[in-house]
């Protein structure tokens, strides 16, 4: 199963490099986003009632893509093992985004050198803040921050559980990857302070992203050959309101020796200057290398999972037999 998992990782990343993301009209994540958009409304008149509705949304809605993805792969496996495996690889492909992230970051960085209107327009694809008054250096900061944060959201968070579960069950691997993507999408669309029905989604995303954000920070430090940067980043990792996004962002700030800033909200590595275009280009290179590190971690997880799979199967069989159930 390790060979199968490696092949699926290769398939997903090859498609990402060749095609980037599918067009919204055929992208399952975009379809899910439309569904979430329909839920973004006032359900009841009180904030407390909205929060209670939000708990139901957070618990139930991510199960929609999870069950769809897992069921699709299970159906494919029932027809043909190769078909099921390919479908699992396609699920991973649509839940990751690396090439689009790096290309958009590069576009914003280049536009800050003389075409601020384009930079301000394009950066909206990376961050949710108002960019109309941002300086060129602040626009570059926003792009670099997003590259670090979205490496966790758009790659590591779905890649690692997929790799861990694929040797055990392809439907489970696909389902969990889709579930995580669903949680991320809910948070990105509903998880704002002025939307009480998104509070539970934001808290769930905080929980889900706790480990991926820190793994991403380690990957950035390793990719840059600077473990000391990870240690320094601890001083500012908790400065952003999110309990997780500060880790990869602060680590990248320390690696680059730049200040990353969201005006009025946080300053990471505050004594350094804001990034130049060259700093931004270096950030894109480091984030790309960190993605490779994350893939190597995923391969190691797949090998570990494959090694313990017989033990898990044996324990399950023993448990069933002790209960009088024939495996």
Domain span at residue 310 reads 2-322
What the block records as the tokens of 285 is 């290179």
Chain centroid to Cα 283, Å, comes to 18
Flag whether 185 is in a domain.
yes
d(CA 184, CA 62): 9
Flag whether 259 is in a domain.
yes
Each residue's pLDDT expressed in tens, for the chain with a length of 327 residues: 678 899 999 999 999 999 888 888 889 999 999 999 999 999 998 999 999 999 999 999 999 999 999 999 999 999 999 999 999 999 999 999 999 999 999 999 999 998 899 999 999 888 888 888 889 999 999 999 999 999 999 999 999 999 999 999 999 999 999 999 999 999 999 988 889 999 999 999 999 999 999 999 999 999 999 999 999 999 999 999 989 999 999 999 999 999 999 988 999 999 999 999 999 999 999 999 999 999 999 999 999 888 876 665 555 455 545 555 454
Q: Give the total residue count for the chain.
A: 327
Flag whether 93 is in a domain.
yes
Dihedral sign (CA 41, 42, 48, 52) = negative
Flag whether 50 is in a domain.
yes
Flag whether 34 is in a domain.
yes
Q: Exposure string (b/e) for 234-268, b if CB count within 10 Å is 16 or more? A: eebbebbebebbbbbbbbbbbbbebbbbbeeebbb
d(CA 241, CA 194): 15
What the block records as the tokens of 180 is 């995580």
Question: Between 170-190 and 63-79, two packed helices, what is the crossing angle to 10 degrees?
Answer: 160
What is the domain count for the chain?
1
Flag whether 327 is in a domain.
no
């Amino acid at each position: 199963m390790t060979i199968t998992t490696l092949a699926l990782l290769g398939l997903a990343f090859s498609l990402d490099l060749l095609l980037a993301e599918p067009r919204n009209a055929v992208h399952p994540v975009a379809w899910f986003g439309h569904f979430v958009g329909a839920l973004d409304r006032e359900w009841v008149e009180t904030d407390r009632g909205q929060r209670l509705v939000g708990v139901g949304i957070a618990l139930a809605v991510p199960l929609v893509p999870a069950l769809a993805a897992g069921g699709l792969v299970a159906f494919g496996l029932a027809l043909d093992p190769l078909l099921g495996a390919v479908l699992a690889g396609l699920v991973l492909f649509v839940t990751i985004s690396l090439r689009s992230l790096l290309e958009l970051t590069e576009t914003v960085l280049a536009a800050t050198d003389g075409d601020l209107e384009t930079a301000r327009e394009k950066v909206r694809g990376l961050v949710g803040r108002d960019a109309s008054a941002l300086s060129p250096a602040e626009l570059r900061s926003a792009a670099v921050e997003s590259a670090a944060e979205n490496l966790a959201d758009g790659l590591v968070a779905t890649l690692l559980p997929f790799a861990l579960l694929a040797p055990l069950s392809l439907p489970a691997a696909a389902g969990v990857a889709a579930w995580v993507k669903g949680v991320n999408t809910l948070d990105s669309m509903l998880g704002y302070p002025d939307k009480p029905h998104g509070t539970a989604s934001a808290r769930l995303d905080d929980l889900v992203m706790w480990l991926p954000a820190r793994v991403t920070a380690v990957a950035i430090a390793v990719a840059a050959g600077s473990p000391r940067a990870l240690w320094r980043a601890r001083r500012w990792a908790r400065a952003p309101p999110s309990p997780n996004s500060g880790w990869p962002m602060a680590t990248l700030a320390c690696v680059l020796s730049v200040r990353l800033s969201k005006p009025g909200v946080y300053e990471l590595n505050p004594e350094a200057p804001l990034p130049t275009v060259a700093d931004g280009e270096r950030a894109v290179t480091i984030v790309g290398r960190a993605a490779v590190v994350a893939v190597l971690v995923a391969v190691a997880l797949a090998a570990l999972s494959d090694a313990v799979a017989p033990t898990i199967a044996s324990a399950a069989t023993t448990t069933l037999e002790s209960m009088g159930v024939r495996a």
